[in-house]
A and B are shown apart, each in its own frame.
Chain A
Amino acid sequence: GQNIDQPTEMTATEGAIVQINCTYQTSGFNGLFWYQQHAGEAPTFLSYNVLDGLEEKGRFSSFLSRSKGYSYLLLKELQMKDSASYLCAVNAGNNRKLIWGLGTSLAVNP
């Protein structure tokens, strides 16, 4: 079957660094996405990894290891506005559909 696992909740302190992990088991792999979703709002695109390694974009970085079926999203210099749910999604080969994780709810405390 197709499965994506993420921690349900995480807590971190303003100014700190947090790593949100995502593991996947899918029939195929054509790329992995991270989206951010604030409460009551739509998901917004953060990053896309298709090759192994680290992609850096400002305070956010995303890492992929295809052999391990593993990705993480790294958030640096946390701000209160980073409190949100972070969704991991995999393109498993059917190019029209993504398989979504349930999301990790991150609370950033002062």
Chain B
Amino acid sequence: DVKVTQSSRYLVKRTGEKVFLECVQDMDHENMFWYRQDPGLGLRLIYFSYDVKMKEKGDIPEGYSVSREKKERFSLILESASTNQTSMYLCASRAAGVDTQYFGPGTRLTVL
């Protein structure tokens, strides 16, 4: 079974803090994704990575950066958290040549 884990289920941070969200997958998948999910807006892609040290912007990259130093790990960084970044953050992974994405449990981030 594919397993995608995220570092925290719930996180509370203050405005201006630097926030790291970590995602790890154990299936040697090449592709990894970061989404945020908000009521009425659905799943929106922030960044994705198709290989180590490779990244591409998704639909809403502003205010975020990512890091992929190892194949199994994909980190999302909020350089200076703001209240409008309060959201559910979901990580997903996918093998190359296969279309199905598998999701981690999500991190509910609250920025005060």
Q: Which residues of A contact B (CB under 8 A)?
A: 30-31, 33, 40-45, 48, 87, 89, 91, 95-98, 100-103
Complex alpha-carbon distance, A102 and B99, angstroms = 20
Q: Which of A30, A45, A98, A102 contacts B102 (CB 8 A)?
A: A45
Known contacts: A41-B105, A42-B106. The answer to whether A100 contacts B100 by CB under 8 A is no
User: Nearest chain-A residue to B105 (Cβ)?
Assistant: A42
Q: Contact at B42–A103, with CB atoms within 8 Å?
A: yes
Q: Contact at B103–A43, with CB atoms within 8 Å?
A: yes
Q: Contact at A96–B43, with CB atoms within 8 Å?
A: no
Q: Could you tell me how many residues of chain B have their Cβ less than 8 Å away from some Cβ of chain A? A: 20
User: Nearest chain-A residue to B56 (Cβ)?
Assistant: A96
Q: Contact at A96–B100, with CB atoms within 8 Å?
A: no
Complex alpha-carbon distance, A43 and B100, angstroms = 12
Given A44-B103, A91-B99, A101-B42, 7 more A-B residue pairs with CB atoms under 8 Å apart are A30-B99, A42-B90, A42-B105, A87-B42, A98-B101, A100-B43, A102-B42
Known contacts: A41-B105, A43-B90, A87-B43. The answer to whether A97 contacts B58 by CB under 8 A is yes
Complex alpha-carbon distance, A48 and B45, angstroms = 20
Contacts of B43 in A (CB 8 A): 43, 87, 89, 100
Q: Contact at B42–A95, with CB atoms within 8 Å?
A: no
Contacts of A43 in B (CB 8 A): 43, 90, 103
- 4 interchain residue pairs of minimum CB distance: A42-B103, A102-B42, A100-B43, A42-B106
Complex alpha-carbon distance, A2 and B24, angstroms = 30
Q: Contact at A48–B100, with CB atoms within 8 Å?
A: yes
B34 within 8 Å of A (CB atoms): no
Can you sample 20 A-B contacts with CB below 8 Å? Answer: A33-B99, A41-B105, A41-B106, A42-B104, A42-B106, A43-B43, A43-B90, A44-B103, A45-B100, A48-B100, A95-B99, A96-B31, A96-B48, A96-B50, A97-B58, A100-B43, A102-B40, A102-B41, A102-B42, A103-B42
